[in-house]
Amino acid sequence: MRIPLFCGWVRYALVALAAFVFASSAHAEKGKLQERLTPQVLASVYPAGAERLGPEEGSPPAIAVYKNGKIAAYIFSTLDVVAAPGYASTPFDIIGGIDVSGRLTGAKVIFHAEPHILHDPDREQELNTFLGRQAGRPLRGGSDPLPPDYVADSTVSARAMRTALLVSASLVLRPRISRAASNASAESSTLPPPGAGAFRAKSVAELLADGSLVKRRITSGDVASALRESGRSNAKLDWPLGKDDDLYIEFTTGLATPAEIGAHLLGLVTLEDDKSRLPPGTELIYVAANGPYNFFGTKYVQAAEGNRFDRLRIVQGGNTFTFRQDDYIYAVPVAGQELAGLFALRPNSGFDPAKPWRVEILVNGPGTPPVSIPFGVDYKVPDLRKIAATPAPPAATTTTEPLPGVTISEEDIDLELPQPPPAWVEAWSASRANVALLVVLLSALTLIFAFQSRLARFRTAHRVVRNGFLAIVLVWLGWIAGAQLSIVHVITYLRAPFQHFDVGFYLAEPLIVILAAYAFVSVLLIGRGVFCGWLCPFGALQELLARASHALRIPQWNPRPALEQRLWMGKYIAAAVLLMLVLTGADPSGATLEIEPFKTTITAKFTRAWPYALYAGALLSIGLFSERAYCRFLCPLGGVLATLDRLHILNLLKRRPECGSPCRLCERACPVRAILPTGKIVTSECFQCLDCQVEYYDDKRCPPLARAAKLRTDVKPAVRNV
């Protein structure tokens, strides 16, 4: 058969597409702010009216706005300063203004690729209104004039853009304030204030050269020599030794807390986000490594071991500092390393970052006593003023002179970056009620599947539960809560680790996070049908319309089995083509994502331009004549989940030897024709509606049960006659 062979190739192609997640995406062009600052944009960014504009200069780059002969404000681009992405992996571009007193003057979105806003004029307007209302907000102590959910169903994008605007404004204004204010702040702390000088991204070689990082390489020979010196040359280690010249572990470390160091390792926004999660005064140690010996170990995930990192410690003077799981934050490894982490030392730990200290990797092994050989590297924080003063590229110059005619004190503007709560914290706090309702809904669904054999014995109860659950999913989960999982989320989750991995990124949409986790686990346990058949709002809409279609006796069409198997391939092909185009950057605008009608029917509730509404209406109309036609034949998300369905480990749907031959009752009862003429259920096409199970347990309709019931009835009179 050619069809199964073709199916196999398409499925393998879907798996292979994961290799494309690191492919480059289209980005807005950095630089040339002067060209992007049109009169219309300037009117939104600085509505007070500029006397004249200065050149684009400084690091971060900005354009000075003059009024009454003096600098009154600076105009900047988030793309040029932090290049932060929103929900899409492509960085957006917002041009904003900040006046010399530390208040935003306005903001305008120039470019973005946010999937829930793109091609939607209403949400575009809401986004610009939301950002425009930030005008007048101070960098310190301000609050949102409008909540992020003002941009309907796009709060993740709105929060990300607001944060990027605030951070960029602070980075632009801070090096341009008076030296007196900066020096006064610096004298009051052990270390200079982060970011007091110009910032530019440095390579690992530069960070090692200026002392921001230190590195040590340890071979198997080094470990063997240390074992001999300790008298434990025959000791067994957690990881065995190789040849003397083989790498055992190479690790790189440094203090990440100052922005002059940490920003190069983590990125400016990520550094400030990580610091905002910890108590003020917490120091962050960056450790990255490669080689076969994993310095994380395994005990940090074992509660019985106290969740300790037993292969890493810090030594300073007579103090030794160790770490637990709560002290760890994921970090992206620097070039040449394979894994990394940030390790937090709390304010009351006794650690002094200004004094020399030593990072030690412990090579451990079992025994009595256990083996523990330290390999360390000494570290001393470099002069941050010197490394911050590293010249920027020739195209940019740093403006650190006092503003002409303006005196700014520490009270006028906070020298530290603004630290609004991480977007995910705000999102979860704002969604507490919805999260609780979703947990209840998923708990109910879990109970339905746990007791599905009992539910299926009662036809009316099953129909009431099924239709009622779908109605709740459509109305509350879809139209009210806006939690429609789509191929957009799959693409975003696939691409994010290779571009800006951040745990907070994955937590930014609480309901979607919970749904995605439940869908992933359920597809591996039971199959695709748990999500597609019960938790997809668009699928629920199709099925409820199909119920109305049946009630109105609208003729139904279902293709012959051979043709249907060919049509099933549509969703796999749609998923493969769409993922290829978007992940490789061939479709930078994400226009092909509109193959999904979810945004139109669920998120926007049909309040979109007529071509989108017409397309969604056409798909729903087709579903009136062939139940769930879109889900069966075209849905790219369904294609991805159907591919994963091959991995499921449980089969809860009951079958009998008579199924398919001679009995084909369940096959005819299946509304989506997921049962083959042989009686086999194709779980990758099954929506777990349980209709076949209702027939399976019906002793009046299921032929094997009906025969058994008739035999029991015939036997009873015979027994009485005897």
In DSSP notation, 637-667 reads HHHHHHHHHTT---------TTBTTTB-HHH
Round to whole Å and give the CA distance between 107 and 94: 7
pLDDT more than 90, % of the chain: 38
* CA nearest to 693, candidates 349, 333, 449, 519: 449
Q: Please, which residues have CB within 8 angstroms of residue 345's CB and are 6 or more apart in sequence? A: 282, 283, 284, 285, 314, 321, 327, 351
Domain-embedded: residue 320: yes
Task: Give yes or no for residue 461 having a pLDDT over 90.
Answer: yes
- Which of 339, 366, 388 lies at the terminal end of a domain, its last residue? 388
Long-range contact list for 239-247, CB < 8 A, 24+ apart?
239/292, 239/293, 239/294, 242/292, 244/219, 244/220, 245/219, 245/220, 245/221, 246/219, 246/220, 247/217, 247/218, 247/219, 247/220, 247/290, 247/291, 247/292
Beta-sheet pairing, 70-77 with 283-290: unpaired
Confidence check: pLDDT of 21 > 80: no
On whether both 438 and 316 belong to a single domain, the answer is: no
Q: Which residue has the higher pLDDT, 21 or 569?
A: 569
| Residue-averaged pLDDT of the chain | 81
Q: Is residue 129 included in any domain, yes or no?
A: no
428 and 384 in a single domain? The answer is no
| Residues 6 or more apart whose Cβ sits within 8 Å of residue 424 | 504, 505, 507, 508
Q: Are residues 362 and 446 in the same domain?
A: no
Q: What is the DSSP letter of 475?
A: I
Residue 384 sits in the same domain as residue 433 = no
Q: Cα–Cα distance between 675 and 673 in angstroms, integer?
A: 5
For helices 423-430 and 432-450, the axis angle rounded to 10 degrees is 70
Q: Is 428 found in the same domain as 324?
A: no
Query: Is residue 396 in a domain?
Result: no
Work out how many domains the chain is built from and give that number.
2
Contact 129, 150 (CB under 8 A): yes
Cβ count near 678 (within 10 Å): 10
Question: Considering only 180-184, 361-365, 657-661, which range has the smallest mean pLDDT?
Answer: 180-184
The residue segments making up the domain with residue 365 are 201-388
Whether 593 has a pLDDT exceeding 90, the answer reads: no
Q: Do 442 and 537 have their domain in common?
A: yes
- At residue 201, the pLDDT reads 65
Candidates 168, 166, 157; CA nearest to 83 is 168
Whether 429 and 375 map to the same domain: the answer is: no
* Residue 460 maps to a domain: yes
Confidence (pLDDT) at 501: 54
Handedness of CA 498, 504, 510, 513 (dihedral sign): positive
Together in a domain, 547 and 444: yes
Residues 429 and 382 in one domain: no
In a domain, 38, yes or no: no
Task: Enumerate the H helices of 155-289 as residue ranges.
Answer: 155-173, 179-187, 204-209, 220-229, 259-266, 268-276
Q: Residue holding tokens 């027994």? A: 719
Predicted pLDDT at 542: 95
For residue 713, what are its two tokens? 């009835």
- What average pLDDT does this structure show over 143-170? 80
Give pLDDT, residue 89. Answer: 63
Note the pLDDT of residue 160: 81
- Beta carbons of 96 and 104 less than 8 angstroms apart: yes
Q: Is the pLDDT of residue 636 over 80?
A: yes
Residue 675 DSSP symbol: B
Secondary structure percentages of the chain, helix, strand, coil, to 5: 45, 15, 40
Residue 88 binned pLDDT confidence (cut-offs 50, 70, 90): low
| Same domain assignment for residues 439 and 345 | no
Whether 242 maps to a domain, the answer reads yes
Domain end call among 369, 388, 407: 388
Cα→Cα distances 262→104, 388, 439, 585, Å: 26, 12, 38, 30
What mean pLDDT comes out for the span 506-526? 90
Residue 711 included in any domain: no
Based on the fold, state whether residues 606 and 493 are members of the same structural domain. yes
- Same domain flag for 369 and 471: no
Residue 258 lies in a domain: yes
DSSP 8-state assignment for residue 148 = G
